[in-house]
Amino acid sequence: MRYIRIYIFTTIVLFLTACGSSSTTPTVETSTVETTTVETTTVETTTPTPLESTTELVRVACVGDSLTNGYKLDESQSYPVQLSTLLGDGWSVGSYGVTNTTLLQKGDDPYTHTQEFAQSLAVAPNIVVILLGSNDSKPYNWQYKDNFVADYTALITSYRALESNPQIWIAYPTPAFPGMAGISGTTIIEEIIPLINIVAQNTGVGVIDLYTPLSGRGDLFPDTVHPNAEGATIIAQTVYNAIY
């Protein structure tokens, strides 16, 4: 009997051992989740190189046409004078605007042919703000529109050649409501501003949008083209926000 009990016990142990060795761990099926990559377009924007620290006055040259020289305004109301007040001590703002001038070299009165252009170079500015294009919209000037980008690039190059290495900003013309003396508000918004964007992209200069803050503000343009003192204040504040 003792041998029979041992046999039975041994058989049970072997059976249990066999069952334990044959057990398997359940396999968990996993699924792969596919991800979709969304392509994005990066628009590169350029900010002019910051000015080097200096104890000298920062010289700002406001270059342009009658929008710059304050046509029909008291001298104190022009945007360069108001800009000077906003900037305060440590800044010297010069107004080099000439009424009726064009950016286009084949226009009826190219800015680069003026004494003010030569003066704006001679002062060795640290910052240049260019506001041209309104007079270019006149039909007899805009027939040369294919030269606009090249002529603007050449003007920028003139300032970049200066030893003062100025920051350069180019501004959108203000709106016309709808315009006078041939100036076309439609040409400004539909053709000139897009070309200014191309110039900025090609040259890496900064852009100041003077069109948007004055859009729909015909009440600030008594003759449909030139801003009154309040309009000039908006221009000065917008330029200040960009360069300061």
Torsion of CA 126, 59, 209, 80, to 10 degrees: -160
Residues whose CB is less than 8 angstroms from the CB of residue 86 and which lie 6 or more positions away in sequence, other chains included:
236, 237, 240, 244
The answer to whether residue 177 is domain-embedded is: yes
- Of the listed ranges 44-53, 123-132, 147-156, 179-188, the least confidently predicted one is 44-53
What is the residue range of 156's domain? 58-243
Q: Return d(Cα 60, Cα 42) in angstroms, integer.
A: 32
* Residue 15 located in a structural domain: no
Question: Is 193 domain-assigned?
Answer: yes
With respect to residue 28, please indicate whether it lies within any of the assigned structural domains: no
**Residues linked to residue 97 through DSSP beta bridges, in sequence order:** 64
Q: What is the DSSP string of 165-223?
A: --EEEEEPPPP-SS-STT--HHHIIIIIHHHHHHHHHHH--EEE--SGGGTT-GGG-TT
Per-residue pLDDT reduced to its tens digit, 15-64: 333 334 333 333 333 333 332 232 322 333 355 555 555 568 999 999 99
- Closest C-alpha among 171, 169, 82 to residue 128: 169
**CB burial class (10 A; 0-12, 13-18, 19+) of residue 128?**
buried
- Cα–Cα distance between 128 and 133 in angstroms, integer? 16
User: Are the CB atoms for 120 and 98 separated by under 8 Å?
Assistant: no
Q: Looking at the domain assignment, is residue 45 inside a domain?
A: no
pLDDT at 160: 98
Does residue 32 belong to any structural domain of this protein?
no
Residues β-bridged to residue 131: 64
Place of tokens 């260019």: 130
What's the pLDDT score for residue 128? 99
The pLDDT of residue 100? 98
Total domains in the chain come to 1
d(CA 96, CA 94): 6
pTM of the model: 0.80
34 occurs within a structural domain: no
Q: Does residue 38 lie within any of the structural domains?
A: no
Whether the per-residue pLDDT at 14 is higher than 70: the answer is no
Predicted local confidence at residue 78, as pLDDT: 98
172, 207 contact by CB (below 8 A): yes
CATH assignment of the domain containing 212 = 3.40.50.1110
Arithmetic mean of pLDDT over the chain: 84
What's the pLDDT at 51? 57
pLDDT reported for residue 47: 56
pLDDT value at residue 45 = 39
The rounded distance, in Å, linking the Cα atoms of 100 and 109 is 7
Please give the single-letter amino acid code of residue 20: G
Per-residue pLDDT tens over the stretch 70-111: 999 999 999 999 999 999 999 999 999 999 999 999 999 999
Q: What pLDDT, in 10s, does the model give residues 115-136?
A: 999 999 999 999 999 999 999 9
pLDDT at 230: 98
Could you give the CA distance from residue 31 to residue 29 in angstroms, rounded to a whole number? 7
